[in-house]
Amino acid sequence: MLHTTELGTSGSRVVFCHGLFGQGRNFTAIAKQLSDRHRVSLVDMPDHGRSPWSDRFDYLAAADQVAELLSPDDPVALVGHSMGGKTAMLVALRHPELVEKLVVVDVSPVAYDHATEFDGYIKAMRAIDLDSLEGRAQAEDALREAVPSPTVRGFLLQSLRRDEHAASGERWRWLLNLELLGRDLDEITGWPEAGLAGTSPYQGPVLWVGGADSAYVHPDYVAAMDHWFPRNRRVTVKGAGHWVHSEQPEVFVEVLKRFLD
């Protein structure tokens, strides 16, 4: 079962699925702003955070694992960013009775061909010698060349944890299945179109939130978005790239609240 963090005790349920290299807690600040009127679940996706590791990356399997956390008696607003956005789309398509409304953050139902950047991140993270690592600052220095953006470096380092229960004293570990993520990167940047044969479009309301400085929600992808999700409306956030919710959190929360209410 996937690990979740729960906030709020009343109102309709909102479930967040994070993107590649993330964990549910990335959405904590946003969840706190919703928890006065919603029950919020922050999911650690497979091979991330405190959720179990798998032997291969599979979007359809990941979507079914998220679906196991949901109930048709309590349909949710499902929010997904990037990899989590693709997973959320597939939950809605495969299990529409579980999803009352859908929010997709800066990703489209298409296969992308820009895995190279992420491959560089993974190689840099795997190259860090965790046994000799003395602290987080040293890890940040090691990532600097491959990950020039301080924002992205800080985001990646949130998944570096000190393991205080290790037999050899304080050691560090990644809360990411880096070997699998690196090997299956083409699957992660892909879209399982063949696995959706015979699947009907999702008829619930969909909000698409894209960053103005990002190429992930491109006019070329609108046909695919409209095919699978005919009731969608699109919002573009100025001054934001791929990590819309962390680059423009106030705007993101305002847009999200309006859609949820």
Distance of alpha carbon 49 from alpha carbon 29, whole angstroms:
17
Helices (H), 57-184: 59-67, 83-94, 116-127, 136-143, 150-157, 178-183
Helix (H) or strand (E) holding 227: helix 222-228
Tokens at 228, concatenated: 């699978």
Residue 140 CB partners (closer than 8 Å, separation 6+):
153, 154, 157
Q: Specify whether 242 is catalytic.
A: yes
Q: Which of the following is catalytic: 179, 218, 227, 254? A: 179
Q: Specify whether 100 is catalytic.
A: no
Distance of alpha carbon 229 from alpha carbon 115, whole angstroms:
25
Could you count the other beta carbons within 10 Å of the beta carbon of residue 120? 14
Q: Which of the following is catalytic: 41, 51, 82, 159? A: 82
What is the set of active-site residues? 82, 179, 242
